[in-house]
Amino acid sequence: MGTYNLPRNVKGEGRILFIFSTKGLITTAIGGVIGLLFYFIFNLFGLKMVGIIIALIFALIGYAIGMMKVPNTNGLEITRKTGGENVDDVIMRYVKFKLNKKKYYVYTKEEK
């Protein structure tokens, strides 16, 4: 008898601490570092708790950018075009488009 490879779901095997993927951990760390800068600024003014809250908010924003996908709904034009893609991919594509200052033309066939 021969051996056969069975496909299996390996999506969750690259996770760290079960909720973080590698990309999610990196973007959370980047958001946390930006939040820590605000923490140190607010700490100088004696608003330590406000700085901690802002640091946590930036870390949550970083986590959302790294882990979430754009919902696939027809309600808004941007979700129709980018539905199901990762948020960080959409942001990177937007930044590249704005930095290159190029124009993209889309030709559609009109029916009469």
Across the chain, mean pLDDT equals 80
Q: According to the model, what pLDDT value does residue 17 have?
A: 67
Specify burial of residue 61 (Cβ count, 10 A radius: 0-12, 13-18, 19+).
middle
Q: According to the model, what pLDDT value does residue 111 have?
A: 66
The larger pLDDT score, comparing residue 102 to residue 36, is at 36
Average pLDDT, integer, range 27-40: 92
CA 60 to chain centre: 11
The pLDDT > 70 percentage for the chain reads 76
Residue 1 has pLDDT above 70, yes or no: no
Specify burial of residue 27 (Cβ count, 10 A radius: 0-12, 13-18, 19+).
buried
Of the spans 9-13, 20-24, 62-66, which averages the highest pLDDT?
62-66
